[in-house]
Chain A
Amino acid sequence: GAVVSQHPSRVICKSGTSVKIECRSLDFQATTMFWYRQFPKKSLMLMATSNEGSKATYEQGVEKDKFLINHASLTLSTLTVTSAHPEDSSFYICSANEPRSYNEQFFGPGTRLTVL
């Protein structure tokens, strides 16, 4: 099956620093990737849709200058949390569309961000 990886799996940073999270589709090309945020014991909240070679589409209420998304290739999308604060601490999950499989989304294992 299609595999999506995320790196790092866990990151702790100081308030005010920036953190980059990578999402890679390992065995397929993904023109579209999605970034989600999940609060403890809550559902997934879509943050943005990332299309290769174009600007990401952000959901209402998500600060595009705070959460920078780059989709430079068909297998890599990155999410950078800029000037992170404790309230940005969360579980971030990416997914990628597999075009050959009814546009099914395959999910990465997630990244736990803790901002001190």
Chain B
Amino acid sequence: AQSVTQLGSHVSVSEGALVLLRCNYSSSVPPYLFWYVQYPNQGLQLLLKYTSAATLVKGINGFEAEFKKSETSFHLTKPSAHMSDAAEYFCAVSTLTGGGNKLTFGTGTQLKVEL
């Protein structure tokens, strides 16, 4: 079975500081990994995804994540936080089913950006 652990339900950074959101996964097969962002009362927007190509994945809005198999990690980073980055972030791992990919989500990390 697949699982995802997000360390830190709340992360607070200053504007302009480095953002680091942690994600560790458990998977019995090579995983597909995703980071999503959710703003209040909205659906999820894909930030980036790892699909067994390059281990360093660049996404939208300046975010990137590195797949580290030895550490079973897929941490999300951004060099310089912006106020608009304040949101809920979810890491997810997928499992191929007969009809498509089934996602298992982490518990989420609320990012707060302070002036």
Contact = CB atoms under 8 A, between A and B. Distances in A.
A32 B106 contact: no
B108 A110 contact: no
Interface in B8-54: 32, 34, 36, 41-46, 49, 51
A49 B99 CA distance: 9
Interface residues of B, number: 27
Interface size class of A (residues with CB under 8 A): 20 to 34
A67 interface: no
Contacts, number: 67
B102 A34 contact: yes
A103 B96 contact: yes
Interface in B87-108: 90, 94, 96-108
Interface centre among B34, B36, B45, B102 (most CB of A within 10 A): B102
Contacts of A4: 43
Contacts of B49: 102, 104
A31 interface: yes
22 contacts: A4-B43, A32-B100, A42-B108, A43-B90, A43-B105, A43-B106, A43-B107, A44-B44, A46-B103, A49-B99, A49-B102, A51-B98, A97-B99, A97-B100, A103-B96, A103-B100, A103-B101, A105-B94, A106-B46, A107-B43, A110-B42, A112-B41
